[in-house]
Amino acid sequence: MTTKARAGIYHSTVPPFGYRKSPEDSHKLIPDAETAPIVRRMYELAVQGKGYKAIGSVLKNERIPIPAYWHHVRGERTWTRFKGEGDISNYIWNETTIKWILSHEVYIGSLVAQKQSKLFKVGKNYVKPKDEWVVVKDIFEPIVDLELWERVQEVNGKRRRMCKAKREPSIFSGIAYCPDCGRRISFFPEKSSKNSERKTYFGSCQSYKANGPDACTPHRIKEQDLYDIVLKDIKEWAAMALADEWAVLDRVMEQQQLNSTVDYGLIEGKKRTIGKRLEEIEKVISKLYEDYALGRLAGTSIDNLMPKYQREQEELKKQLFALQEQSAEHDSTEQNAGKWISLIRQYSDLKELNSCIINELITKILVGDKRRVNGEKVQSIEIHYRFIGNLTDSGNGETIQ
């Protein structure tokens, strides 16, 4: 089975929900026209910030049948609790099922096999460590694209950390981090005064909150202040991108160059120099062969000279390949900057933030500790946008407390 799995051969009896077996080859999966859109819908709901239970409620309200129903009516697997068409049980989605669909790599076209092993002495299966699974990428046509799948995995990771929260989690939960220790900024309520019932939410470094000043410093921030800063920053960049996207692209690329340790101008110069030298060596080698063929150069001479030029040629080709890879990274950075500009310019009229917008635009926010500058308390906030990272050297602005 392991050999077949590594060869990309699907051998399970029932295909995963959203797929069906190819009529030409039963060991290949192809997206199912009826159920693949349901899977895509679930991923879209997840990236909007909806939890497993909320997604199940949406699907139930839209009268979308569960996987057991589809397998049963198609004769793929018997569902013993099937009560007929239209019964409410056909639309009650289990959170475990939703979680499985929103985390499985099959939906980006990967074959995942050998997840379990049998303990023969006790007759039970156990789940192997993930690094022992067989995962073969790009075997099937994906139902969701890689970028959407990865964003949902980010959301899933944050959701697992929020599961014990007693209130609706902050839109910055799983996004805001301490830049000093790397732990998350957790948000908690405080009453504005002893006699007031009104609560204000503050964020603080988890290390400091758990272990005090020996572990870290507070990095304390009012949630509303962070909200205002992020909203303002998004709107400003969106307005600039809408007014002149090329100017913003130049600014983004300039900042990427400042953040990078690589001088791409120097790389291009080195590539030209190496290319010119390779042309010279090619001419020299051709001339050596020509002189040898015409009897103008002895065999011992060519044996002494040729290895020297060939070694230099090989070394220069390796250097050129490494420089070309660095240039490709620069080109990728420019493409990502274009993606970010297309995304951010849609939010010039943004009125309020929610978790969906935060997760779409931002990968993390670093909340600095408070410090005094010219007698005033200030605090740095560094916003890392999707595709491009942070846009300033020292953070995306200073908040004065």
pLDDT value for 7: 53
One-letter amino acid at 221 equals I
pLDDT in tens, the chain (401 residues): 455 545 556 667 788 999 998 888 888 889 999 999 999 999 999 988 788 888 999 999 999 999 999 999 998 888 888 888 988 889 999 888 999 999 888 898 887 765 555 444 444 454 556 565 566 787 889 999 988 998 888 887 765 544 444 456 788 988 899 998 888 898 888 765 555 566 788 999 988 887 788 778 999 999 999 999 999 999 999 999 999 988 888 888 777 666 555 565 677 788 888 888 888 888 888 888 888 788 777 777 777 888 888 888 888 888 888 777 766 655 567 788 888 888 898 898 899 998 888 888 998 999 999 888 888 888 899 999 988 888 865 444 455 45
For residues 194 and 197, what is the distance between their CA atoms, to the nearest angstrom? 8
pLDDT of residue 119: 44
User: Given this model, what pLDDT does residue 229 score?
Assistant: 93
Dist CA 44 CA 142 (whole Å):
15
Give the integer Cα–Cα distance in Å for 72 and 78: 5
Q: Is residue 232 a contact partner of residue 348, using CB atoms and an 8 Å limit?
A: no
For the question of whether the overall pTM of this predicted structure is more than 0.85, the answer is no
Helix count (H) and strand count (E) of the chain?
A: 12, 15
Show the tokens assigned to 275.
Answer: 């290319």
What pLDDT score does 165 carry?
Answer: 43
* H or E segment and range at residue 383: strand 376-385
pLDDT at 113: 64
Helix (H, G, I), strand (E, B) or coil at 128: coil
**What whole-number distance in Å separates Cα of residue 399 and Cα of residue 230?**
11
CB burial class (10 A; 0-12, 13-18, 19+) of residue 280? exposed
pLDDT tens digits, 314-331: 888 888 887 777 666 555
3-state secondary structure of 21: strand
The full DSSP string for 50-86 is --HHHHHHHHHHTTPPPHHHHHHHTTSS--TT---TT
| Cα separation, 140 vs 32, whole angstroms | 12
Residue spans of beta strands (DSSP E) within 164-302: 176-177, 185-191, 199-205, 221-222
Q: pLDDT (tens digit, 9 = 90+) per residue, 350-374? A: 999 988 888 889 989 999 998 888 8
Q: Report the 3 state secondary structure along 162-187.
A: HCCCCCCCCCCCCCEECCCCCCEEEE
Quote the pLDDT of residue 183.
84
Residue 64 to residue 59: CA distance in whole angstroms: 5
State whether residue 399 is helix, strand or coil: strand
Could you report how far apart the first and last alpha carbons of the chain are, in Å? 63
Q: Which residues contact 380 (CB under 8 A, 6 or more apart)?
A: 366, 368, 394, 395, 397, 398
d(C-alpha 126, C-alpha 119), whole Å: 7
Specify the pLDDT at position 14: 85
Nearest-angstrom CA–CA distance, 29 and 372: 61
Question: What are all long-range contacts of 151-157, with beta carbons under 8 Å and residues at least 24 apart?
Answer: 151/47, 151/359, 151/360, 152/43, 152/46, 152/47, 152/102, 153/103, 154/359, 154/363, 155/46, 155/47, 155/49, 155/359, 156/46, 156/99, 156/102, 156/103
Question: Which pLDDT value is given to residue 373?
Answer: 82
